[in-house]
């Protein structure tokens, strides 16, 4: 492997290296190690490349602005050696396109003018709160009825009037407060703003607000059609959208990637803009280990597929299909020749057959033609002709998932979302998620993040009393098995073989497990402590809630403290064995 030191090519710290770094990569496509110095490097939209990339779960725009592009590179490594990458304006930090055996290691990513803001509540009375926003840390201006924030590169973005509230001592999301929406804003002078709420929220003087403004248009690390990629020892202090987005890739490893706030610059709860890790339609194995997530404005990890629908039969081998979510569409690689497709009854979420792709033709952002290698069964053709009842999922684009030794600090909503039929291991992690710590999802009706789970191990994790402190969508338990199944059937549960064992729960009385439409479920050998730290007890909610489940075993769990109940609530279940 060749070693290329950036300084030997005139690429030096304390300069804008956007164009020069791109030119350097063009000369070294294979078997090269690129070495940065321990210093500050700058990137600007003015010198950046723009390209059409269709990012999953991200706002649709014609072109993305790329700080660092690695394209068609093989067996290469970028070693930061502690380098600090400073960006300005909306930019995508790393873009990996059709790369193989590439690693990124040893960087810190930041913006002088961050892509999220924060304020401190200095007074709260009823439906009004007065909020101070530090103009040095978060440059802004008042426009008459709203705030606009400066993110550099002459770019200003309006406050979306949606915020997440953190208590100031432990920097945890405020209990019993989910997304807070602002009705109106008035300038009181001195960078203090009176914000009128839609209701009397549980907000207190001294609380911190994590404020959204930028649109979700760029990722921190975006990888598409890559294989055997490693992202290691990188700290993100700010980001313009998803942190690490991998789509249509194989074998991805994220180790020691940390999403934190830069307290040295006065930021306590403003860091990443949205999800930390978003894994869409990958294959092979995705490993996320030894990472840290804090104060994100969405879920730290989401692993899923992308389901589509069809209501038009072109011929006996061809269906016209539709992307259904406005932030997950126009994919160039949703299917390729030889991929295996599953056909799904959207009402019951039951698979009604599989077929092999012959061709995939994208017609526009929302529509494509999918042709198969042989005529489709009449049942599938009739389901498509019925109307909106047929969904399709690409089984080839499903990955095994290993999630271990991560710290899920307090963020908005869930900790880990997972929807994949391949083996899943979520072990030895620490959770203080404001919503459910783990959501086993699966959906072809709402978010269209598909994925029937067949083999999930959840073991040796610690779930703190901060988990499920606020209610978000699908957050019905600390561990929530909650697929979207409009017409569930007792005999045909959606998820299968989920084992929750040897975990530690510190609970204030919220449901530990909510399981819907699951077969062969085990909840055993867990230690469950009643936390005295918070006076809270939900009414009429058992620790374990089971609905439309079959073959459930609950045994060997140990309960410590004064629990109101250890009962199991069952609805439309079969063969539940419990020692409670």
Mean pLDDT over each residue of the chain, to the nearest integer: 96
- Whole-number pLDDT of residue 273: 80
Residue 537 has a pLDDT of 54
Residue that is written with structure tokens 């709203």 in the block: 146
Q: Is 395 helix (H, G, I), strand (E, B) or coil?
A: helix
How far, in Å, CA of 170 to CA of 551, rounded? 41
- Sorting pLDDT into bands at 50, 70 and 90, what band is 181? very high
What's the burial of 544, exposed, middle or buried (CB within 10 Å: 0-12/13-18/19+)? buried
Residue 536 predicted with pLDDT over 70: no
> What is the dihedral sign for C-alpha 156, 158, 163, 166?
positive
Backbone angles phi, psi at 384, to 5 degrees: -65, -40
Q: How confident is the model at residue 119 (pLDDT cuts 50, 70, 90)?
A: very high
Residues in the chain: 580
In this structure, what token pair is assigned to residue 334? 């949703």
Angstrom distance (rounded) from CA 501 to CA 504:
9
What's the whole-number mean pLDDT along residues 512-525?
98
Secondary structure of residue 396 in the 3-state scheme: helix
What SS3 class is residue 378? helix
Contact indicator for 430, 348 with CB cutoff of 8 Å: no
Angstrom CA distances, 28 to 25, 34, 105, 113, stand at: 5, 9, 18, 33
Judged against a pLDDT cut of 60, whether residue 532 lies above it is answered with yes
The answer, yes or no, to whether residue 538 has pLDDT greater than 60, is no
Asked if the model's pLDDT at residue 509 lies above 90, the reply is: no
pLDDT band at 288 (very low <50, low <70, confident <90, very high): very high
Q: What is the 3-state secondary structure (H, E, C) of 118-186?
A: EEEEEEEECCEEEEECCCCCCCEEECCCCEEEECCCCCEEECCCEEEEECCCCCCECCCCCCEEEEEEE
User: In whole angstroms, what is the distance from residue 255 CA to residue 418 CA?
Assistant: 19
Q: pLDDT confidence of 535, banded at 50, 70, 90? A: low
Predicted pLDDT at 129:
98
pLDDT band for 540, please (50, 70, 90 cuts).
low
Pairing of strands 518-524, 550-555: parallel
Structural contact between residues 150 and 156, judged by C-beta atoms closer than 8 angstroms:
yes
Across the range 249-278, mean pLDDT stands at 95
pLDDT tops 90 at residue 290: yes
The answer to whether 210 and 148 are in contact (CB under 8 A) is no
Contact 293, 408 (CB under 8 A): yes
**Given the structure tokens 């995508």, which residue do they identify?**
92
Closest-CA residue to 280 (of 49, 58, 555) = 58
The predicted-structure confidence for 322-344, as pLDDT tens digits, reads as follows 999 999 999 999 999 999 999 99
Contact 504, 461 (CB under 8 A): yes
Q: What pLDDT was estimated at residue 563?
A: 85
Other Cβ atoms closer than 10 A to 8: 9
The span from the CA of 100 to the CA of 562, in Å, is 54
The model's pTM is: 0.97
> What stretch of H or E contains 569?
strand 568-571
Q: Is the pLDDT of residue 376 over 90?
A: yes
pLDDT tens by residue, 41-76 = 999 999 999 999 999 999 999 999 999 999 999 999
The CA distances from residue 187 to 33, 43, 339, in Å, are 52, 34, 57
């Amino acid at each position: 492997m060749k070693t290329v030191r950036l300084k030997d090519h005139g690429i030096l710290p304390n300069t804008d290296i956007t164009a020069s770094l791109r030119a350097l990569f063009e000369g070294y496509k294979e078997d090269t190690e690129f070495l940065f110095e321990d210093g500050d490097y700058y990137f600007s939209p003015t010198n950046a490349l723009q390209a059409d990339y269709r990012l999953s779960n991200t706002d649709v725009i014609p072109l993305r602005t790329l700080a660092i592009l690695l394209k068609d590179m093989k067996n290469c490594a970028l070693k930061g050696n502690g380098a600090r990458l400073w960006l300005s304006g909306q930019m995508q930090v790393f873009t990996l396109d059709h790369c193989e055996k590439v690693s990124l290691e040893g960087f810190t990513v930041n913006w002088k003018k961050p892509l999220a803001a924060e304020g401190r509540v200095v007074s709260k009375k009823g439906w009004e709160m007065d909020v101070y926003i530090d103009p040095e840390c978060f440059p802004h201006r008042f426009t008459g009825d709203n705030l606009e924030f400066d993110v550099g590169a002459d770019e200003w973005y309006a406050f979306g009037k949606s915020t997440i509230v953190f208590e100031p001592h432990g920097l945890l999301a405020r209990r019993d407060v989910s997304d807070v929406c602002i009705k109106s804003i008035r300038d009181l002078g001195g960078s203090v703003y009176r914000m009128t709420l839609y209701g009397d929220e549980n907000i207190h003087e001294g609380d911190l607000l994590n404020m959204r403004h930028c649109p979700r248009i760029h990722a921190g690390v975006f990888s598409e059609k890559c294989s055997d990629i490693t992202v290691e020892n990188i700290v993100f202090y700010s980001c313009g959208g998803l942190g690490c987005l991998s789509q249509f890739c194989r074998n991805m490893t994220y180790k020691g990637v940390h999403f934190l706030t830069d307290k040295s610059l006065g930021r306590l709860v403003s860091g990443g803009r949205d999800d930390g890790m978003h894994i869409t339609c990958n294959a092979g194995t995705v490993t996320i280990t030894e990472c840290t997530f804090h104060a994100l404005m969405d879920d730290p990890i989401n692993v899923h597929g992308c389901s589509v629908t069809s209501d038009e039969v072109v011929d006996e081998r061809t269906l016209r299909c539709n992307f259904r979510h406005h932030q997950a569409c126009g994919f160039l690689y949703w299917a390729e020749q030889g991929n295996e497709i599953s056909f799904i009854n959207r009402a019951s979420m039951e698979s009604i057959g599989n077929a092999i792709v012959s061709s995939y033709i994208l017609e526009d952002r929302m529509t494509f033609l999918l042709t198969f290698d042989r005529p489709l069964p009449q049942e599938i053709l009739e389901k498509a002709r019925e109307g909106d009842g047929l969904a399709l999922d690409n089984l080839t684009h499903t990955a095994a998932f290993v999630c271990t030794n991560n710290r899920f600090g307090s963020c908005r909503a869930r900790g880990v979302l997972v929807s994949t039929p391949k083996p899943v291991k979520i072990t030895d992690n620490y959770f203080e998620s404001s919503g459910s710590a783990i959501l086993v999802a699966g959906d072809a009706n709402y978010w269209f993040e598909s994925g029937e789970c067949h083999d999930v191990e959840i073991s040796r994790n610690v779930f703190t009393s901060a988990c499920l402190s606020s209610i978000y969508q699908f957050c019905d338990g600390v561990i929530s098995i909650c697929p979207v199944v409009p017409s569930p059937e007792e005999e045909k549960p959606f998820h299968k073989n989920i084992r929750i064992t040897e975990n530690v729960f510190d609970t204030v009385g919220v449901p530990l497990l909510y399981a819907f439409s699951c077969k062969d479920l085990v909840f055993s050998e867990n230690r469950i402590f009643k936390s005295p730290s918070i006076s809270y007890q939900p009414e009429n909610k058992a620790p374990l809630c089971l609905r439309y489940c079959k073959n459930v075993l609950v045994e060997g769990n140990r309960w410590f403290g004064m629990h109101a109940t250890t009962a199991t609530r069952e609805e439309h279940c079969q063969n539940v064995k419990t020692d409670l």
